[in-house]
């Protein structure tokens, strides 16, 4: 038999799936893969039910239903002051994942260089490589996750087609400051590069921090592709409704990729997300306030047990250093150990790095009901005796 594609087949099963399966097998509380254990806002779910029952069930327009595209344009204006033309600058995708793939397939020519910042979300590198891109990796290191400006500058060249930027960042929960974004913007201008901005956690920032899209910096409006996800904004990750905002010159080619990947996204869910995006500011504020309480509960509990806990500025995740617990093994051993023995699953942070070197950090997800977090902490405390 002839061989299959060598790029994709060189990857194993994603760590999120691996840890979730292990959690299920051992009846563990799953603080590994990042998804909430609730059922999302009931009015948004009710809107979807209504649209499902009352006839939004056939192929919608390839670009997404106009009401959702208008709602995305309005969100851009309401939160970031961006003037966006919904008809030529917004497209709906099947989740942030498809938005990323469509954007990367649309922009990258074989041999183009792509700057990626580690820790890396799992889909980035495989898609860049499958598109023929040459990855230039820049590493953020725990515990401070500082942007190494010299290394970043060295990763850029005149062959750089784009940088892929994730803020708030999974798994390390870093929120890029305006100064850091300005450094990135300067390099993009110097090397005439684009940015694919993965902003799926844009509404999940804590301690009063504000999300700043790179697209809002001077000179960046036409260089950036901004990606959002209803999965995170409405705590409904299985819906897989995402959206892309970009100038028409970039959105056109991205739509070409989208039309051959998924073409459309369920219209009933799109309509419910449009309803959700038009909710009052209080919805968005309480989303991050409630999550911040969960973050604090989990962070304090893990500290008491003996973990070293890194600061979390946004997203669903806390990174911990487990060395103070005296565990003998690497991060993957540790995450398997606590899943099978303490029955609490986490994800090894080393899975987000190429080439090793980060081996004693575990990521815990906190977008989980408080009672369940308390139970998970009890299990870990009983196991480690903290």
Q: Which of 260, 3, 220 minimizes the C-alpha distance to 106?
A: 260
- Closest to ligand GLN by CB, 65 vs 125, is 125
- C-alpha to C-alpha distance for 53 and 245, rounded to whole angstroms: 30
**Strand locations in the chain, DSSP E?**
29-30, 90-93, 113-118, 134-139, 160-166, 194-198, 224-229, 242-245, 308-309, 317-321, 344-345, 347-348, 361-365
- Closest to ligand PMP by CB, 233 vs 292, is 233
Is residue 94 a contact point for ligand GLN (CB under 6 A)?
A: no
- C-alpha to C-alpha distance for 261 and 320, rounded to whole angstroms: 37
Among residues 23, 28, 34, 307, the one that binds ligand GLN under rule CB under 6 A? 34
Residue closest to ligand PMP when measured from CB atoms: 95
CA-CA-CA-CA torsion for 151, 179, 186, 127, nearest 10 degrees? 60
- Closest to ligand GLN by CB, 51 vs 317, is 317
Residues in the chain: 386
- Closest to ligand GLN by CB, 66 vs 126, is 126
Q: Work out how close the CB of 302 gets to ligand GLN at its nearest, in angstroms, rounded to a whole number.
A: 17
Among residues 166, 167, 170, 235, the one that binds ligand GLN under rule CB under 6 A? 170
**227 beta partners:** 198, 244
CA-CA-CA-CA torsion for 43, 44, 47, 51, nearest 10 degrees? -160
Encoded tokens for 34 = 């990042």
Task: Report what 30 binds from ligand PMP, ligand GLN, none; CB cut-off 5-8 Å by kind.
Answer: none
Task: Report what 40 binds from ligand GLN, ligand PMP, none; CB cut-off 5-8 Å by kind.
Answer: none
Among residues 33, 93, 103, 160, the one that binds ligand GLN under rule CB under 6 A? 33
- Closest to ligand PMP by CB, 180 vs 198, is 198
- C-alpha to C-alpha distance for 218 and 363, rounded to whole angstroms: 35
Encoded tokens for 95 = 């989740």
Classify strands 344-345 and 29-30 as parallel, antiparallel or unpaired: parallel
Q: Work out how close the CB of 334 gets to ligand GLN at its nearest, in angstroms, rounded to a whole number.
A: 17
- Closest to ligand GLN by CB, 160 vs 170, is 170
Q: Work out how close the CB of 61 gets to ligand GLN at its nearest, in angstroms, rounded to a whole number.
A: 27
Cis amide prior to 227 (ω within 30 degrees) = no
Q: Work out how close the CB of 288 gets to ligand GLN at its nearest, in angstroms, rounded to a whole number.
A: 17
Task: Report what 166 binds from ligand PMP, ligand GLN, none; CB cut-off 5-8 Å by kind.
Answer: ligand PMP
- Closest to ligand GLN by CB, 34 vs 276, is 34
| Secondary structure class of 227 (helix, strand, coil) | strand
Task: Report what 229 binds from ligand PMP, ligand GLN, none; CB cut-off 5-8 Å by kind.
Answer: ligand PMP
Q: Work out how close the CB of 74 gets to ligand PMP at its nearest, in angstroms, rounded to a whole number.
A: 20
Binding site for ligand PMP (CB under 6 A): 95-97, 121, 166, 170, 198, 200, 229, 231, 237, 240, 242
Is residue 167 a contact point for ligand GLN (CB under 6 A)?
A: no
Q: Work out how close the CB of 316 gets to ligand GLN at its nearest, in angstroms, rounded to a whole number.
A: 7
Among residues 7, 16, 21, 141, the one that binds ligand GLN under rule CB under 6 A? 16
- Closest to ligand PMP by CB, 181 vs 305, is 181
**311 beta partners:** none
Cis amide prior to 168 (ω within 30 degrees) = yes
- C-alpha to C-alpha distance for 177 and 227, rounded to whole angstroms: 18
Interface residues with ligand GLN (CB under 6 A) are 16, 33-34, 170
């Amino acid at each position: 038999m002839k061989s299959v594609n060598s790029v994709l087949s060189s990857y194993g099963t994603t760590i999120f799936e691996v840890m979730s399966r292990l959690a299920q097998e051992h009846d563990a509380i799953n603080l590994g893969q990042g998804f909430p254990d609730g059922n999302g806002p009931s009015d948004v779910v009710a809107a979807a039910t209504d649209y499902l029952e009352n006839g939004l069930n056939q192929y919608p327009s390839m670009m997404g239903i106009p009401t959702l595209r208008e709602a995305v344009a309005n969100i851009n204006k309401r939160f970031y002051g961006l003037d966006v033309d919904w008809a030529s600058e917004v497209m709906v995708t099947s989740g942030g994942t498809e938005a990323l793939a469509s954007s990367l397939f649309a922009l990258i020519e074989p041999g183009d260089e792509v700057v990626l910042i580690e820790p890396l979300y799992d889909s980035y590198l495989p898609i860049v490589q499958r598109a023929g891109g040459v990855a230039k990796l820049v590493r953020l290191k725990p515990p401070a996750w500082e942007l190494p400006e010299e290394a970043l500058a060295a990763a850029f060249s005149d062959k750089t087609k784009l940088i892929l930027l994730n803020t708030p960042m999974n798994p390390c929960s870093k929120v890029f400051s305006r100064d850091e974004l300005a450094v990135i913007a300067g390099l993009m201008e110097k090397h005439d590069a684009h940015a694919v901005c993965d902003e799926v956690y844009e509404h999940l920032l804590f301690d009063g921090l504000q999300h700043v899209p790179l697209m809002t910096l001077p000179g960046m409006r036409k260089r950036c592709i901004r990606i959002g996800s209803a999965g995170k904004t409405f705590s409904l990750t299985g819906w897989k409704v995402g959206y892309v905002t970009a100038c028409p010159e970039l959105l056109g080619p991205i739509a070409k990729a989208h039309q051959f990947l998924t073409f459309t996204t369920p219209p009933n869910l799109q309509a419910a997300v449009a309803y959700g995006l038009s909710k009052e500011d209080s919805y968005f504020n309480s989303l991050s306030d409630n999550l911040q309480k969960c973050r604090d509960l989990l962070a304090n509990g893990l500290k008491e047990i003996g973990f070293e806990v890194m600061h979390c500025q946004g997203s669903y995740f806390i990174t911990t250093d487990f060395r103070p617990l005296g565990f003998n093994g690497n991060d993957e051993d540790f995450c398997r150990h606590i899943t099978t023995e303490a029955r609490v699953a986490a994800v090894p942070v080393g899975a987000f790095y190429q080439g090793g070197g980060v081996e004693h950090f575990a990521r815990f997800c906190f977008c989980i009901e408080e009672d369940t977090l308390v139970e998970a902490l009890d299990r870990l405390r009983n196991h480690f005796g903290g």
